[in-house]
Structure formats: C-alpha cells, structure tokens
C-alpha cells in the first residue's frame, strides 16, 4: 500500500478538511463495490480526509482490498460475532434466552475505538459481519447492536465514512442506510446490474439520501460504453441521479488482488486511479 508518513498526512490535512460525510456504496454482486470503496478510501485520505471504511458484507473483503494482510485474517472478528461486546451493550448474549432484557438502543460510542482497525493515521476500518434479517424483522441482540453501531457511525462528524455493502438492496430495508448523505450505485454495462441499480436508486431516494450517483464500472471500449448508454436511457436513470461516473476496465487489478489499493503504488497514473480521484473530487462538498 502507498503508505503516507504521519508528516505527509498532517501536511495534507492543513487545508482544514476534517468534517466528514457519509457515503454508502451499493449495487449488484460483483459490480465493483469493494474495489471502488477501497480505491476511494485512499483517494480521500490523499485529499486530507480521515476515513472510516465500514464493511457490511459478511464476506469481509474490504479489509484485504484496503491492504490488511491476508495472513492476519483470523484476527478479524466481525462485530456480529463479538458475543462479549454484544452482551455488554445489549444486556443479552446471542443464542441465549434474551427476550426480556434486550436493550434496543445500546450506547456504542466506544465501538470505533475498540474495534476499528487502524491501517494508518488517517484510515481505519470496521467489520460488521452478518445481519440476520427475517421478513418479520429480528429483535435479536446482534441486530440491535449492528443497527445502533450504524446509527452511531452515521452521526460521527470528524471523519468520512464509506460503507461497503453486501450485494443487493436488503440494506435499504433496514435502518442501515439512514443518515448517509451520499449513495454510489455501482453497476456494469449489463441489463441485470442496471436493473438492480435502478431499484437501488429508487430505494436510496425513498429513505432520503440526498446525493445519488451511478458508477458504471469496467467499461472497456466503445461497444460497452454504447450499451451502458442505451441501458441508462432504457431505465431512465439519468433523470434520477445527480451524476453518472464511469470507471475503466483495469486489467492489472487482477494480479494485485485482494489488495487492490496497491494500484496507487503500482500504477498511480492508470485510468482507473484517475477516474476514482475524479469521483472523489466530485463528492467533496463545494462550500
Ligand atoms: N474496473 C475494474 N477493472 C478490472 N477489474 C475490476 C474492476 N472493478 C472490479 N474488478 C474486479 O471485479 C471483481 C469484483 O469486484 P468487487 O469485489 O469489487 O465487486 P463487489 O461488487 O464488491 O462484489 P461482491 O458483491 O461480491 O461484494 C474483482 O475481481 C475485482 O478485482
Ligand atoms: Mg464486495
């Protein structure tokens, strides 16, 4: 990873960018959510932001995309499996008779300090783990805790939050995406991905996310660009989003996996890095 020294980060922060905003990254499976989240995290760090990257996907790919060593994967305990913390906060231990004692809005101000993993002075991540969400809603301790954590994170003012989600749209049905100011809906130039994107855009709007963007990933030459344009028109997407961004296919990514963030070191002038930096600039509030 292209690590910066604390001095360099301090220098970058001298422009006074400290206040955060909250970005949720969503889209169809395999569209490129985690790749974009990781590359964007580093783009924002380089622009002087303090970034908290949150992995909502139980597959927990984000830490490794951000450069967390794969050989330390056993040390990553998602919050949903941290039984002691869940019990400490909700008053109930998952899997035990909890009913009467469950605290629904547990105080979780300490969650990032205790469980956030610092990759460097400006970049940390937090892994959430699996959320069980039957159609009826689940008042289990894990859900009470994870909902409280997301709510707490969405209120933190001193850092930019990037929330990488599980494929699909389920997170919009929960409190999960509430409090987020920006939504990046990632798609590729396929019909199915655009259909999921269209649904996500609608749901993001319904829960009140102010800025919604489409990101068309893996564009590789004219025919794909044309197909993406046709689908955007067909689904009437351009009228429903604030902007549409595109990301090029980057064949060198494959060999960097899972640490895709290393693209900044290996090929800082690549078209993908430039396109991600461009998204970063567009997202930064102008005031
Ligand atoms: N612009 C790109 N160029 C080349 N490969 C890419 C690009 N974006 C993503 N990929 C590759 O596509 C695959 C899926 O990407 P990624 O894991 O980011 O998707 P995802 O939406 O997070 O998937 P999931 O839904 O499984 O979480 C990865 O192998 C990744 O390296
Ligand atoms: Mg992912």
Q: Is the pLDDT of residue 35 over 50?
A: yes
Q: Is the pLDDT of residue 196 over 50?
A: yes
Give me the number of domains the chain comprises. 1
Q: Give domain status of residue 263, yes or no.
A: yes
Q: Give domain status of residue 127, yes or no.
A: yes
What is the CATH classification number for the domain harbouring 253?
A: 3.40.50.300
Q: Is the pLDDT of residue 236 over 50?
A: yes
- Residue 153: pLDDT band by 50, 70, 90 thresholds? confident
State in Å: Cα 30 to ligand 2 middle. 7
- What tokens appear for 230 in the block? 């046709």
Residue 249 CB–ligand 1 contact under 6 Å: yes
Q: Please give the Cα distance from 144 to 141 (Å, whole number).
A: 5
Q: Please give the Cα distance from 274 to 211 (Å, whole number).
A: 22
Residue 246 CB–ligand 1 contact under 6 Å: no
The single residue listed with the structure tokens 């979780």 is 108
Closest CA to 192 of 250, 231, 219: 231
Contact status, residue 264 vs residue 4, Cβ threshold 8 Å: no
Q: Give domain status of residue 82, yes or no.
A: yes
Q: Give domain status of residue 100, yes or no.
A: yes
Residue 197 CB–ligand 1 contact under 6 Å: no
Please name the residue whose Cα sits nearest to atom 9 of ligand 1.
Answer: 32
Q: Give domain status of residue 1, yes or no.
A: no
Q: Is the pLDDT of residue 274 over 60?
A: yes
Q: Is the pLDDT of residue 1 over 50?
A: no
pLDDT tens digits, one per residue of 92-122: 887 766 555 778 788 889 999 999 999 999 9
Residue 37 CB–ligand 1 contact under 6 Å: no
Q: Give domain status of residue 79, yes or no.
A: yes
Q: Which of 25, 35, 224 gets mutated to test ligand 1 (max ligand atoms within 8 A of its CB)?
A: 35
Contact status, residue 9 vs residue 45, Cβ threshold 8 Å: yes
Q: Give domain status of residue 178, yes or no.
A: yes
- Residue 15: pLDDT band by 50, 70, 90 thresholds? very low
Question: CA quadruple 185, 135, 191, 253: dihedral positive or negative?
Answer: positive
Domain span at 102: 6-283
Closest CA to 116 of 155, 57, 63: 63
Q: Please give the Cα distance from 91 to 141 (Å, whole number).
A: 8
Q: Give domain status of residue 171, yes or no.
A: yes
Output the pLDDT for position 18: 47
Residue 270 CB–ligand 1 contact under 6 Å: no
């Amino acid at each position: 990873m292209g690590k910066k020294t604390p001095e360099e980060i301090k220098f970058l922060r001298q422009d006074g960018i400290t206040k955060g905003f909250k970005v949720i990254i969503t889209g169809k499976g395999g569209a490129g959510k985690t790749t974009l989240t990781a590359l964007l995290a580093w783009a924002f760090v380089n622009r002087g932001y303090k970034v908290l990257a949150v992995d909502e996907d139980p597959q927990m790919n984000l830490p490794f995309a951000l450069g967390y060593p794969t050989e330390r994967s056993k040390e990553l305990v998602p919050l949903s499996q941290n039984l002691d913390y869940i019990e400490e906060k909700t008053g109930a231990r998952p899997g035990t008779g909890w009913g009467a004692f469950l605290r629904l809005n547990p105080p979780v101000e300490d969650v990032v300090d205790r469980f956030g993993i610092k990759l460097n002075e400006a970049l940390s991540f937090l892994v959430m783990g699996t959320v069980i969400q039957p159609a009826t809603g689940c008042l289990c301790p894990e859900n009470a805790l994870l909902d409280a954590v997301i709510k707490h994170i969405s209120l933190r003012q001193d850092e930019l939050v990037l929330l990488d989600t599980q494929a699909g749209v389920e997170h919009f049905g929960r409190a999960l995406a509430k409090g987020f100011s920006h939504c990046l809906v990632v798609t590729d130039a396929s019909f199915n991905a655009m259909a999921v994107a269209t649904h996500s855009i609608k749901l993001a709007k319904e829960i009140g996310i102010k800025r919604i963007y489409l990101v068309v990933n893996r564009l590789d030459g004219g025919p794909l660009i044309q197909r993406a344009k046709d689908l955007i028109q067909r689904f009437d997407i351009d009228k429903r989003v604030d902007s549409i961004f595109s990301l090029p296919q980057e064949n060198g990514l494959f060999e960097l996996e899972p640490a895709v963030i290393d693209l900044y070191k290996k090929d800082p002038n690549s078209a993908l890095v430039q396109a991600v930096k461009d998204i970063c600039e567009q997202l930064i509030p102008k005031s």
